[in-house]
Amino acid sequence: MAPQTTKAERTSSLRPPAGFSRRDFLRGSSAVAAASALQQQATALAQEAAGVAIVAGETAITLNVNGKDHQVKAEPRTTLLDVLRYQLDLTGAKPVCNDGSSGAATILVDGKPMQANVMLALQAVGKKIQSVESLAGDAVPKAFVECDAQQCGFCTPGFVVAVRAFLNQKPKATEEEIRKGLNGNLCRCGTYANIVHAALLVVKGDA
Amino acid sequence: MADAYFWPTKEKSQAIGTRVKRLDGPEKSNGTAKYTYDINIKNQLIAKALGCPHAHCKITSIDVAPALKVKGVVHAEPLKQSGNEIEWQGELLAVIAAETEAAAREGVAAIKVEYEMLPVFVEEDNLAAAEAAMRTSKGGGKAQTEKEPGDDDDEDEFIEKEIARLLKESAHVVEAEYGIDPITHCCLEPHGSTVAWEGNKLLVHLSTQNVSGTDEGFARDLNITSDDVTVHCDYIGGGFGSKFAPDYWGIAAARISKATGRPVKFMLDRDQELKLGGSRPSGYIKVKLGADKDGVVQVWDSEHWGSAGATNPGGVSHTVVPYVFTPKNYRRLATNIKTNHAQARAWRAPNHPQACAITQTALDDLAMKMGANSLDIFLKNLGTDENPGVSGAKPSVYKAEMEEGARLIGWKELWHPHGKGPAKGSVVEGLGLAIHTWGGGANQSSCLVKIHPDGGVETTCGTQDLGVGTRTVLALVLAECFGLPYESIKVNIGSSKMPVSGPSGGSTTVGGVSESHRRAGQDAFRHLAALVGEKLAVDPATLEAVKGRIQVVGNPDKSVSWKEATSLLGMKPLEVKGEYTRGTASPLSNSQVGGVQMAHVAVDKETGIIKVKKYVAVQDIGLVVAPTQAESQIYGAVIMGIAYSLFEERISDPKTGAFVNCELKDYKLARLGDIGEIVVKFYEPESERSRGVIGLGEPPVISPGAAISNAVCNALGVRVPTLPMTPQRVLAAIEKGARAGG
């Protein structure tokens, strides 16, 4: 095992050290494709850099969340999760880990499951973002209730989105496929047995 | 009237014991349930703290001023001063409050601290090293022999000789070592709060399992009185025994909020949650046991050790060693080790899972040594109800549960002597079992049940839902009293301004809130029945509430609808207080349950990987109020058990004391693909059901360590002595077994 890095060391990377700028950090990222959707300041900077979006400080951007455009403010370091939770008050996606390993912040980005806590808000510009709140009428949360697939419930929204994304890919998933395919999310209360039941219920079309 | 309160029979029950959907399931599933972390108050600041990078050091200087230069930082304050000794990694040294999480983190990174390093000790499994480092203290013990020492005998000397004699005369002796590493609570919602002041009044959104009992902690530390504090918690993202107090970071949030005049959200970071938010003490044991020719244990002699951290280094209590089984002759000694870890907290069934894992494995090793069937050996050691060989539940309860478990897992068909089963390639299979007990008596609880003249029913109760389905339980209990659908009952819980209910700890919640609500419900019904009796000109004692009507027992023709009945209240709602005092004998609740669990595992001898194929849990909890939610709780306990048996451990670097796997990618928990088939069965014959409600949270999490270890041992024919049974440890045990010619 590598020695433990301290909190201070880890977070210090947030400050641009000498010889490495935030501009470098964003160069070549998906912000390129997103440049047209960036608001005034960012767009101007992007154009100036001839196709490369260069963003510093807080900028106003537009994010399409749950079918609606929202004007939000983001720094280059601002995660999509922070924007969802603090600016849009969409708190279904949860801050559980720093690296996406818990799956608690699972959302859909252009239909694909992503972790909102390891995605920058700027990366999400121009994409269709769906949080768990958009699935309120979906069969998956219904099946979770039907099968009692939640206890404390903190991991549940992330799991609901993950199950939705998985079943979009494999609508006829077997139990074995479900058990193999949903290992990106953690539950501490241990609701897995009922999550398997819930996913199978959705496959059967009974939810 | 002592007989005023009672539960309906199984046949008569309309709501109790029925399968229903969790009342707050939709909110939890669609993301609208608001947890403490989710509460955003206008103009709030976000607080983040610097955790100490060292496990043992002295602060020689601390300067938070540089943080104030960071854009967005509003407040910076040290929590420790120069000269303070820090005894574990992660201890919070200073806190920064800022406009955003990112700014708060940048502020934390700017804090300047200098340390003087001090010697570290974290090797809690190593008794000799702990003794050499002067880190041990007596943890208590007890010895008892059938033969009593004479008046002139030195007691210690007598016991020593007597134990040696009994071991020598035993037909079978097991001498072995076992262990279970420390784990953390790892709540997915970290400990923390979102707080706001209004004048001198403090509102705390606290992630807590103790809604009614944390206000005074805030008041004491902030020099106000409890009436000025409101603690609120609609939903809690996991607690498991670790969230009973405001914690010093909760107090800091309130202090900073006061200083800045703004609401503050202060949640621990993930690594801080694992380092500070709670851990379970480790346990390691050296055992000698002697049994007669039938495999009944006659003498037990053990010394165990472990650590609960730096502050109060009590490990596993000696009182639960050996676990459940009570041999006639025993000597048990506990040694506590002080390590550089934050203090352990109550982890679901304190002491029991560790004690079970390090002692019922020895009983299974006895079966292996004898070439006997483990189930037979466990059965023989139960004794009889008249002459029990076990504590907690009656031997006949464990026996009936063992028979049920054996049937469900196919024990008879699948059993083979240890290490003698067929191999499929490099994969061998095995069976194991363990048994457990827990008190689970009802906690103190008060509630206010209100019946409105228009028929609406609501209850207000200062309890919380830790994930057991408290709201659903309350609704079922009241629905039963009034003959109403459970969804129609409005349940208000989660505030310290509500009638006081006890903390959710020790499997006491469902018992407590069922007590208060059944009492209030029956009293309220009697009040209504008097009015209805007058109207129908019948004896109120002949009335019952069934399917939305109040009727003469068995006679729907003589009845009024629920709404007609409540309209008789006139203009004023009926308010009835329900109250239960902990420890009061009652026909509604009881304590002391027994449970049996069995595991069927497959072990790959080449990779060391263990798979739990099937797991059976048979559990007595008296009367089952909400079977679906109770079942979920057992599934969860078993899955937590699979995690600590196979994957989960806090790994400390022996040189630096650093908690090296304090992020979730490294802290291995069971995932959805790691569980096999889990079968849950309640043992609820009339003899147990008639005892009333008994708590469930703790008991089913106790047995998995021993049950799975015993199954692995049955598969391999060698013991993997320490949990978690990682592939590395499995391979080492196989190699050791091969060297020993096993």
Q: What is the pLDDT of residue A7?
A: 39
Cα B432 to chain centroid, rounded: 23
pLDDT beyond 80 at B664? yes
Instruction: Work out the pLDDT band at A55, boundaries 50, 70, 90.
Output: confident
Hey, which bits of B605-729 come out as E strands? 610-619, 677-682, 722-723
- Name the minimum distance, in Å, from the CA of B575 to any CA of chain A: 31
Positive or negative: CA dihedral B211, B212, B213, B216: positive
Are the CB atoms for B272 and B307 separated by under 8 Å? no
Over range B418-437, report the average pLDDT: 97
pLDDT digits (tens, 9 = 90+) for B484-504: 999 999 999 999 999 999 999
Q: What is the pLDDT of residue A36?
A: 41
Instruction: Count Cβ neighbours within 10 Å for each residue of B229-256 and write b for 16 or more, e otherwise.
Output: bbbbbbbbbbbbbbbbbbbebbbbbbbb
Give the lowest-confidence range in A32-46, B291-305, B706-720: A32-46
Give the lowest-confidence range in A133-142, B147-156, B250-259, B302-311: B147-156
Give contacts of B643 with chain A, Cβ < 8 Å. 190
pLDDT beyond 70 at B704? yes
Q: What is the pLDDT of residue B740?
A: 86
Of the candidates B465, B522, B455, B531, which has an alpha carbon nearest to the alpha carbon of residue B490? B455
Query: Which helix (H) or strand (E) segment is B431 a member of?
Result: strand B427-438
Query: How far apart, in Å, do the first and last CA atoms of chain B sit?
Result: 66
Global pTM value: 0.94
User: B580 phi and psi, to 5 degrees?
Assistant: -135, 130
Give contacts of A144 with chain B, Cβ < 8 Å. 25, 28-29
| Tokens (6 digits) for B734 | 């196989």
Q: Say if the Cβ atoms of A190 and B661 lie within 8 Å.
A: no
pLDDT beyond 50 at B221? yes
pLDDT beyond 80 at B29? yes
pLDDT beyond 60 at B259? yes
Q: What is the pLDDT of residue A207?
A: 67
Give the lowest-confidence range in B265-274, B560-569, B732-741: B732-741
pLDDT digits (tens, 9 = 90+) for B683-694: 999 999 999 999
B21: helix, strand or coil: coil
Over range B379-406, report the average pLDDT: 98
Q: Which residue has the higher pLDDT, B380 or A206?
A: B380
pLDDT digits (tens, 9 = 90+) for A93-121: 999 999 999 999 999 999 999 999 999 99
Give the Cβ contact number of residue A24 at 10 Å. 11
Give the Cβ contact number of residue B669 at 10 Å. 21
pLDDT beyond 50 at B414? yes
Question: In which residue are the tokens 């103009």 written?
Answer: B43
Separation of alpha carbons A83 and B574, rounded Å: 47
Report which residue type is found at B319. T
Separation of alpha carbons B722 and B430, rounded Å: 18
Q: What is the pLDDT of residue A42?
A: 54
Give the nearest partner residue to A1 out of B272, B466, B660, using CB atoms: B660
Instruction: Work out the pLDDT band at B741, boundaries 50, 70, 90.
Output: confident
Q: Which of B664, B672, B677, B726 to mutate to test the interface with A (most CBs of A within 10 A)?
A: B672
**Is any Cβ of chain A less than 8 angstroms from the Cβ of B636?**
yes
Cα B706 to chain centroid, rounded: 17
Q: Say if the Cβ atoms of B235 and A153 lie within 8 Å.
A: yes
Separation of alpha carbons B66 and B82, rounded Å: 17
- Name the minimum distance, in Å, from the CA of A88 to any CA of chain B: 10
Q: Say if the Cβ atoms of A92 and B102 lie within 8 Å.
A: no
Q: Which residue has the higher pLDDT, B173 or B312?
A: B173
Q: What is the pLDDT of residue A206?
A: 74
pLDDT digits (tens, 9 = 90+) for B617-655: 999 999 999 999 999 999 999 999 999 999 999 999 999
Average pLDDT of every residue of chain B: 97
Q: What is the pLDDT of residue A5?
A: 38
Q: What is the pLDDT of residue A48?
A: 52
pLDDT beyond 80 at A26? no
Of the candidates A152, A118, A102, which has an alpha carbon nearest to the alpha carbon of residue B671? A102
Q: Say if the Cβ atoms of B32 and A98 lie within 8 Å.
A: no
Instruction: Work out the pLDDT band at B657, boundaries 50, 70, 90.
Output: very high
Please report, rounded to a whole number, the percentage of residues in chain B having pLDDT higher than 70: 99
pLDDT digits (tens, 9 = 90+) for B367-392: 999 999 999 999 999 999 999 999 99
Instruction: Work out the pLDDT band at A52, boundaries 50, 70, 90.
Output: low
CA distances from A1 to B252, B659, B660, B661 (A): 34, 11, 7, 9
Q: What is the pLDDT of residue B3?
A: 63
Query: How do beta strands B489-493 and B457-461 pair?
Result: parallel
Average pLDDT of every residue of chain A: 83
CA distances from B570 to B450, B452, B530, B573 (A): 14, 9, 14, 8
ipTM of the shown complex: 0.96
Separation of alpha carbons B391 and B407, rounded Å: 24
Over range B16-25, report the average pLDDT: 98
| Tokens (6 digits) for A40 | 């005034």
Please report, rounded to a whole number, the percentage of residues in chain A having pLDDT higher than 70: 74
Instruction: Work out the pLDDT band at B328, boundaries 50, 70, 90.
Output: very high
Q: What is the pLDDT of residue B312?
A: 84
Q: Say if the Cβ atoms of B671 and A185 lie within 8 Å.
A: yes
| Tokens (6 digits) for B185 | 């609570």
pLDDT beyond 60 at A1? no
Separation of alpha carbons B704 and B340, rounded Å: 28
Q: Which of A11, A81, A140, A176 to mutate to test the interface with B (most CBs of B within 10 A)?
A: A11
Give the Cβ contact number of residue A47 at 10 Å. 15
pLDDT beyond 80 at A3? no
Give contacts of B656 with chain A, Cβ < 8 Å. 3-4
